[in-house]
């Protein structure tokens, strides 16, 4: 049976509700520490709060850039990313520009991600929004983001559809050992989480991390 110790360090404990309040962010941080999750994943406006709460503690602070559409300008994304890092963010989940991808404008798509990678120096997870892409577009997006220096390929924002085993397998096949794969969107159960890990994900974005830990605990009783 899979244990909490094996799965918890792969989880980005996520709260991306626009109306999230400070007490909820603090609770998220406390849960992440309690269960040993990899990060808390929150909007940029909450980064300073989370950084203060998690000071000298194991979980890192992850935030989202250009979220959820990816359709802001490159200059806006870069400013948002730099401000987040200045506020203490450890990881950046950046939504790619889907319009440029679908038009085949790989130059701007590459530059959009590469500028953030180079100027912030922090790990970037490129969000591909796989539910909206063809197979060829998934491959192209993955290759461009890898070349731009992304540390992770992330399946989804969760706003346009969720992670699938097939997409995780594809991204792992493309990325090999060069990159992490983050599955995100619709991960609600232990069964789903383990299927995605077995498919090749080494990070899971979910708001149900505590529920999944409870499932593990109950299964061990």
Output the domain CATH number for residue 190: 3.20.20.70
CA-to-CA distance for 150 and 65, rounded, in angstroms?
13
3 state SS of 181: strand
CA-to-CA distance for 61 and 211, rounded, in angstroms?
21
CA-to-CA distance for 194 and 80, rounded, in angstroms?
33
Tell me the whole-structure pTM to 2 decimals.
Answer: 0.96
For 75-129, give the DSSP string.
HHHHHHHHHHHHTT--EEEEE--HHHHHHT-HHHHHHHHHHHHHHH-S-EEEE--
Rg (CA), the chain: 16
CA-to-CA distance for 189 and 32, rounded, in angstroms?
17
The catalytic site residues sit at 93, 154, 182
**Residue 2 domain-assigned (yes or no):** no
The pLDDT tens digits of the residues spanning 108-128 come to 999 999 999 999 999 999 999
What is the mean pLDDT for each group of 10 consecutive residues in the chain (221 residues)? Answer: 70 97 98 98 98 97 98 98 98 98 98 98 98 98 98 96 96 97 97 96 98 91 61
- Specify the number of domains making up the chain: 1
**Residue 119 domain-assigned (yes or no):** yes
Residue 10: closest CA among 62, 86, 85: 62
**Residue 42 domain-assigned (yes or no):** yes
Domain extent for 183:
8-220
């Amino acid at each position: 049976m899979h244990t909490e110790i094996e799965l918890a360090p792969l989880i980005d404990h996520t709260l991306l509700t626009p109306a999230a309040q400070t007490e909820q962010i603090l609770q998220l941080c406390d849960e992440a520490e309690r269960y040993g999750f990899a990060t808390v994943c929150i909007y940029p406006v909450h980064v300073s709060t989370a950084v203060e709460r998690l000071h000298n503690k194991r979980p890192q602070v992850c935030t989202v850039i250009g979220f959820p559409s990816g359709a802001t300008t490159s200059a806006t994304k870069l400013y948002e990313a730099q401000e987040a890092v200045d506020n203490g963010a450890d990881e950046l989940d950046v939504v790619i520009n889907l319009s440029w991808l679908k038009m085949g404008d790989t130059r701007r798509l590459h530059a959009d991600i590469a500028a953030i990678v180079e100027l912030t120096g922090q790990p970037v997870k490129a969000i591909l929004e796989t539910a909206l892409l063809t197979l060829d577009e998934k491959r192209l997006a993955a290759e461009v983001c890898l070349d731009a220096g992304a540390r992770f390929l992330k399946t989804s924002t969760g706003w346009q559809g969720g992670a699938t085993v097939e997409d995780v397998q594809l991204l792992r096949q493309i990325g090999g050992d060069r990159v992490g794969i983050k599955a995100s969107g619709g991960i609600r159960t232990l069964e789903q989480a383990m299927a995605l890990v077995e498919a090749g994900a080494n990070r899971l974005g979910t708001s149900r991390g505590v529920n999944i830990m409870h499932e593990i605990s109950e299964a061990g009783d």
